[in-house]
């Protein structure tokens, strides 16, 4: 019991000494040992890394889960070390509503059939989103959290110890200075100065040792950056895969809806008056499966079994021709297609039974099939 009481009294004395030293430094009444410029630079870089990691982590969480209530719920489950309950994505929920609507409104009606097709596409989009969220959480969010909750807490603890060692060192310097001043006035014995010098040597040793430990931890921030860089690449790859899947699913849906639209509304001009988005591609060789197609190919767009067009026999309809501006260069795959140059104007029209993703294009005395996605149809 006596030992514990003495230890508490000693700890209280140390805390009081540090508080006095810190207060006097703030008011400019005591000298402060300054860290070297390299050390200060390491501290500043560590603080910046921590602050930006927190911001990137929080915003990525918002990106993956926009619902604030759901994020709070997931946070609480993680803190309680319990499994986060499975939650349907917005796309899957929309797919469910559309399927139920089709069932009630008539699955064999044109509207019901279209609802079913869109519902299937939304379900696939929802599944792709779920995979993306799972992959991004493991490969990107988890390493960022591990840094903030692990390495950063260790660095913060050692920095606090370094601050205490510095306060002890400066307090020892102040005591020695006072002891020497008192000795000069012959009011203290020499052993008081010796004691103060011994305390200073111990404080200096402990400060130097703690400074070295803290410096090594701060220099480890470079390894943290390398690890976060690798995680960032994995996040980009998972996001590329996700958007590539979405693109393919929506392209398939667009083909299905284009075919059914021609059957429901015969004679309707197939195409869009809005500029198509430029074809996307992935530059990473490791994500070949997730690569966006550079544009519709003949194999993708021509329906199976479609007979080759006899261009000499093709004549434009009496009505239904339109002007179109070419968005991107297109190299004809065979003699049935028309090569295109970006920004040129051509005349286009559709023929009965054609794949809705293709049109007949004419430029001067040349004509051939052209992909709709490479055109901006003009009024």
Say which CATH number the domain at 327 has.
Answer: 2.30.30.40
pLDDT computed for residue 11 by the predictor: 65
Using left for φ > 0, alpha for ψ between -120 and 50, and beta otherwise, residue 327 falls in: alpha
Contact 345, 324 (CB under 8 A): yes
Look at the pTM and tell me if it is higher than 0.85.
no
Instruction: Output the six-digit token pair for 365.
Output: 């005395």
Q: Which CATH number covers residue 71?
A: 1.20.1270.60
191 and 337, same structural domain? no
Q: What is the pLDDT averaged over residues 253-263?
A: 73
Q: What is the pLDDT averaged over residues 182-186?
A: 68
Contact 113, 259 (CB under 8 A): no
Residue 269 in domain: no
pLDDT computed for residue 124 by the predictor: 94
Give the number of domains in the chain. 2
pLDDT computed for residue 298 by the predictor: 37
Residue 323 DSSP symbol: E
Confidence of residue 193 (pLDDT cuts 50, 70, 90): confident
pLDDT value at 302 more than 50: no
d(CA 336, CA 330) in angstroms, rounded, equals 13
Residue 230 in domain: yes
Strand-pair partners of 324: 346, 377
Of 178, 180, 173, 174, give the one whose Cα is nearest residue 200. Answer: 173
Instruction: Output the six-digit token pair for 331.
Output: 């190299």
Winning range, highest mean pLDDT, from 223-232, 272-281, 365-374: 223-232
pLDDT computed for residue 87 by the predictor: 79
Q: What is the pLDDT of residues 205-248, one digit of tens each?
A: 999 999 999 999 999 999 999 999 999 999 999 999 999 999 99
pLDDT computed for residue 20 by the predictor: 76
Q: To the nearest whole number, what is the mean pLDDT of the chain?
A: 81
pLDDT computed for residue 281 by the predictor: 43
pLDDT value at 313 more than 50: yes
Q: What is the pLDDT averaged over residues 341-360?
A: 89
Instruction: Output the six-digit token pair for 251.
Output: 């392209």
Residue 43, Cα to own-chain centre: how many angstroms?
Answer: 26
326 and 260, same structural domain? no
pLDDT computed for residue 62 by the predictor: 93
Residue 270 in domain: no
190 and 332, same structural domain? no
Domain span at 219: 10-264
Q: How many CA atoms lie within 13 A of 11 on its CB side?
A: 6
Of 347, 308, 310, give the one whose Cα is nearest residue 325. Answer: 347
Q: What is the pLDDT averaged over residues 271-286?
A: 44
Could you tell me which residues come within 8 angstroms of residue 319 by beta carbon, excluding any fewer than 6 positions away? none
Q: How many CA atoms lie within 13 A of 111 on its CB side?
A: 8
pLDDT computed for residue 300 by the predictor: 42
Of 92, 121, 103, 100, give the one whose Cα is nearest residue 256. Answer: 121
Residue 248 in domain: yes
Q: Which residue has the higher pLDDT, 288 or 175?
A: 175
Query: How many C-beta neighbours within 10 Å does residue 25 have?
Result: 16
Any idea which of 125-139, 170-184, 213-227, 297-311 has the lowest mean pLDDT? Answer: 297-311
pLDDT computed for residue 246 by the predictor: 94
Confidence of residue 187 (pLDDT cuts 50, 70, 90): low
Query: Which of 222, 248, 264 lies at the terminal end of a domain, its last residue?
Result: 264
Query: How many C-beta neighbours within 10 Å does residue 95 have?
Result: 24
């Amino acid at each position: 019991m006596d030992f514990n009481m003495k230890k508490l009294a000693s700890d209280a004395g140390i805390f009081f000494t540090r508080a006095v030293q810190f207060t006097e430094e703030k008011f400019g009444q005591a000298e402060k040992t300054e860290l070297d410029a390299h050390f200060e630079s390491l501290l500043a870089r560590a603080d910046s890394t921590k602050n930006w990691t927190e911001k990137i982590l929080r915003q990525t969480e918002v990106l993956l889960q926009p619902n604030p209530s759901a994020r709070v719920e997931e946070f609480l489950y993680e803190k309680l070390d319990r499994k986060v309950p499975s939650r349907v994505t917005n796309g899957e929920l929309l797919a469910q509503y559309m399927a139920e609507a089709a069932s009630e409104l008539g699955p064999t009606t044109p509207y019901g059939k279209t609802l079913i097709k869109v519902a299937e596409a939304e379900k696939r989009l929802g599944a792709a989103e779920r995979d993306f969220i799972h992959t991004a959480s493991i490969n990107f969010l988890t390493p960022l959290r591990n840094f903030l909750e692990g390495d950063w807490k260790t660095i913060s603890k050692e920095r606090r110890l370094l601050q205490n060692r510095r306060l002890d060192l400066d307090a020892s310097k102040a005591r020695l200075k006072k002891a020497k001043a008192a000795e000069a006035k012959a009011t203290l014995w020499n052993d008081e100065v010796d004691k103060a010098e011994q305390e200073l040597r111990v404080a200096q040793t402990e400060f130097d040792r703690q400074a070295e430990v803290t410096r090594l931890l701060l220099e480890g921030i470079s390894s943290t950056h390398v690890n976060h860089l690798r995680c960032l690449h994995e996040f980009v790859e998972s996001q590329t895969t996700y958007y590539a899947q979405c693109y393919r699913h929506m392209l398939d849906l667009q083909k299905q809806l284009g075919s059914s639209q021609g059957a429901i509304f015969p004679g309707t001009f197939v195409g869009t008056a809005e500029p198509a988005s430029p074809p996307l591609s992935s530059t990473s060789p490791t994500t070949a499966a997730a690569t966006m197609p550079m544009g519709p190919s003949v194999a993708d767009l021509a329906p199976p079994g479609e007979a080759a067009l006899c261009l000499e026999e093709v004549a434009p309809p009496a009505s239904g021709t339109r002007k179109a501006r070419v968005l991107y260069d297109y190299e004809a795959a065979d003699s049935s297609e028309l090569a295109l140059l970006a920004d040129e104007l051509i005349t286009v029209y559709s023929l009965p039974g054609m794949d809705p993703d293709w049109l007949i294009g004419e430029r001067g005395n040349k004509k051939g099939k052209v992909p709709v996605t490479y055109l901006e149809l003009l009024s």
